[in-house]
Amino acid sequence: MDKPRHMPLARTRLLVRRHSLTVRLSHWLNVLCMTILLFSGLQIFNAHPALYWGQYGADGDPSIVSMQAVENGDVTKGITRIGPLSFDTTGVLGLSNVDGEPTERGFPAWITLPSYQDLATGRRWHFFFAWLFVINGLVYLAYGLVSRHFRRDLLPRPAELAPAHLGHEIADHARLRFPKGEKARHYNTLQKLAYLGVIFVALPLMIGTGLTMSPGFDAAAPWLLDLFGGRQSARSLHFIAAGALVAFVLIHVVMVLLSGVLNNMRSMITGRYAIDDEAQTAPAKELVP
């Protein structure tokens, strides 16, 4: 009699629970808030499209970043300066078309809220959604602590922080090799580190520097000015942190598209994520004739 022969593996798709309702709701509210905050923040920046370091800024100190229109004879160009470097950004930064006319603007009209130059309206949009963003973040933080979401889903284990493991994950990401099967049930180490960095570093920095730019809040908490090196330094850090968050979101969206947009969208809408499950059938015995 021949030895038992195993049948080929049968691959099936399983829907597993990946995101709770609280996580999903906070995620989509964050998407709305961050979109409005970005566009309205650029409207506010356009009122004085330059960044400084220190207490005063404006005409008292040289800018570290600026966007302006510069006339050179009969030609006007948009010039963006970062430290000692200057770039011609005509048509995008410093000088862009508004109703068909070249107009001096830090950021173009299509990326600001409102599209026309209106500091007061931009500030109203920005402040309303900033507080909504903070409240949403506090609710998510409380949920993460009470439900142990941070410890269970986001805190890397010591073995995951080993250089060899991190190097392997970086190489897999560079080759666009995404986790499959059981490994896809949980965040990988790079995701955990990125999310923890955003939640506990970038977002608190955004909120803290935003509050420091408020004279009323500075009166109640003057130590914020010392913490961030002055109101102008806080403004620069606020802008830099916003840029880092935009970069994170862009990378996040690219990874979602490359790793399976429909599956990822379903998990963030319904909470269910599809993974491949390999189930092996029982051995089939072959009889001797």
The predicted pLDDT at position 281 comes to: 38
Rg of the Cα trace of the chain?
Answer: 26
Reported pTM:
0.85
Residue 268's nearest CA partner among 41, 18, 47, 88 is 18
Distance CA 53, CA 231 (A): 9
To 5 degrees, how large is the angle CA 63–CA 65–CA 70? 85
What are the boundaries of each domain within the chain? 15-49+112-279, 51-106
The predicted pLDDT at position 149 comes to: 86
Q: Are 269 and 24 in contact (CB under 8 A)?
A: yes
Q: What are φ and ψ of residue 132, in 5° steps?
A: -65, -40
The predicted pLDDT at position 6 comes to: 52
The string of DSSP codes covering 103-147 is EEESS-GGGSSSSS--HHHHHHHHHHHHHHHHHHHHHHHHHHHHT
Distance CA 83, CA 69 (A): 17
For the domain 15-49+112-279, what is the CATH code? Answer: 1.20.950.20
Neighbours of 223 (CB within 10 A): 9
- What is the token pair recorded at 58? 């404006």
The predicted pLDDT at position 151 comes to: 86
Alpha helices for the chain (secondary structure H): 21-46, 119-146, 149, 163-174, 189-197, 203-212, 215-220, 223-228, 231-269
How far, CA to CA in Å, does 101 sit from each of 48, 49, 78? 20, 20, 13
Q: Are 221 and 209 in contact (CB under 8 A)?
A: no
The predicted pLDDT at position 186 comes to: 81
CA count, 13 A, side-chain hemisphere, 48:
9
The predicted pLDDT at position 26 comes to: 95
Entry field: residues in the chain: 289
Residue 221's nearest CA partner among 211, 229, 230 is 211
pLDDT mean values, one per 10 residues, the chain (289 residues): 53 80 94 96 95 74 89 88 93 88 91 93 96 94 90 88 89 84 82 92 93 89 90 93 94 90 91 72 37
Residue 16's nearest CA partner among 179, 262, 143, 186 is 186
The predicted pLDDT at position 146 comes to: 92
